[in-house]
Amino acid sequence: MMNCIREKRQQRNLSREDLAKTVGVTRQTIGLIESGRVTPSTHVALRLAHSLGCAVEELFWEDEIMDLPVITSETPATEPLDVRRVYLAKVRNRVIARPASPRQVVSFDSPAQGLLQTLNIADNNQGRVRLLQDESEVTTNVFVSGCDIGLGLWTHSFTKKSGKPMGTWFNVANRQALAELSKGQTHIAAVHIASRAPQSSPLWPIFPRDHRVFCFADAELGWAVKRGNPLGFSNAQDLTNGNLRIVNREVGAGARDLLDQKLRQAGVSPAQVPGYFHEVQGHYEVADMVHKGIADVGMTHSGAAALYGLTFLPVQLEQCLLVVPEAYLSLPGIQDLMDTLSSDRFRSELAAFAPYDVSRTGNVWLGTET
């Protein structure tokens, strides 16, 4: 039987002698239990858990334990100590763990593959993880990073088809998705580019030769306002009166870039716009803020506006592209996920889920579609 008594004791700055006194055993007994050479009685196990402020199940287990890097780039490094559930996948020949944080994982109630027991921030965020899934199954899990709202449907469809939790969507902006791909923190980065973007577009050069790019779907990006547009909003120029509150996406998001472009064209300074610095992470969050009346307008995905019953004013047609390193395409999990993307069943459901154009879904992107 394995345990993490030593780690829990050290977190509370207790010596073996200190813990032994509160439990009612000798210091040597604590050492033997920590090393796994002695299995404590139920009575001692309960007293250990009480002294260390945790449940018995957190201290002892039969499952496999792995020491893994914990990816916490989106949150303060201490958060995984509160968010104990983690998703696991093998990326670049190493297994990594990512917290099931609602800030990034919209479907964070999906079954996780591990529980974080301890985290050593000083040692490059190395964590001790208790596996809830066989290690052999972890290697088929796929991480997808991006902010398109259809990515959750895609990964869920893959999971449903396999019968196991195999696909996880991390809701991050374009630049963050690409950064995670380059760092080996995800398998697939989903990015958006204007459908008529020229090859001089800032996004164009970010696709290396050893990566393949596939079409996910086309959809519109635009302004979302309350149903019926009661305030009569029409364009960025209306934001100059200071009466309309906006909700914004984080830096690196395509929606924020488009908003900034429209403000510049209208000669509007961000400082003139109430709420410009109120940032949320993801299209759903923008739509939710407008739906609740916390904001009057936001730049978001047409599908998010439709799902929240908002009036949508289109600004730009965009392509969502999936960037995948060539080396990953032979992996069983990636192959199965791409098969799901290309299936008629998935394309039909995606088109019904939100106002998507799925005519090129699953196709290799040649960089010439308009």
Nearest CA among 217, 191, 187 for reference residue 325: 187
16-23 vs 42-52: helix axis angle to the nearest 10? 120
Q: Is residue 200's pLDDT more than 60? A: no
290 neighbors 226 (Cβ within 8 angstroms): yes
Question: Could you tell me the pLDDT band of residue 338, with boundaries at 50, 70 and 90?
Answer: very high
Q: Dump pLDDT digits (tens) for 256-269.
A: 999 999 999 999 89
The whole-angstrom separation of Cα 306 and Cα 310 is: 6
Q: Is residue 321's pLDDT more than 60? A: yes
The whole-angstrom separation of Cα 2 and Cα 105 is: 30
The whole-number pLDDT of residue 130 equals 83
Question: What is the pairing mode between strands 2-3 and 60-61?
Answer: antiparallel
Please say whether the structural domain 2-60 has been given the CATH code 3.40.50.620: no
The whole-angstrom separation of Cα 181 and Cα 191 is: 11
Return the percentage of the chain with pLDDT > 90, whole number.
55
The whole-angstrom separation of Cα 134 and Cα 113 is: 9
The whole-angstrom separation of Cα 34 and Cα 44 is: 13
Structural domain boundaries in the chain:
2-60, 68-189+327-343, 190-326+344-370
* Cα-based torsion angle of the residue sequence 345, 347, 350, 351 in order, rounded to the nearest 10 degrees: -110
Nearest CA among 114, 149, 106 for reference residue 130: 114
Asked whether this chain's domains 2-60 and 190-326+344-370 adopt the same fold, the reply is no
Per CATH, which fold does 190-326+344-370 belong to? D-Maltodextrin-Binding Protein; domain 2 (3.40.190)
Indicate the pTM of the whole model: 0.77
Instruction: DSSP for 167-232, please give it.
Output: EEEEE--HHHHHHHHHTTS-SEEEEEEETT--TTSTTGGGS-TTEEEEEEEEEEEEEEESTT-TT-
User: Which position has the higher pLDDT, 126 or 97?
Assistant: 97
The whole-angstrom separation of Cα 310 and Cα 59 is: 49
Q: Dump pLDDT digits (tens) for 7-61.
A: 899 989 999 999 999 999 999 999 999 988 888 999 999 999 999 999 888 888 6
Q: How many CB atoms lie within 10 A of CB 277?
A: 10
Residue-averaged pLDDT of the chain: 86
- Tokens of residue 298, six digits: 């936001």
Question: Could you tell me the pLDDT band of residue 191, with boundaries at 50, 70 and 90?
Answer: very high
181 neighbors 329 (Cβ within 8 angstroms): no
The whole-number pLDDT of residue 197 equals 54
The whole-angstrom separation of Cα 181 and Cα 10 is: 35
Q: How far is CA 135 from CA 53, 113, 274, in A?
A: 29, 9, 50
Residues 311-340 have a mean pLDDT of 92
- Tokens of residue 354, six digits: 């939100």
User: Which position has the higher pLDDT, 55 or 102?
Assistant: 55
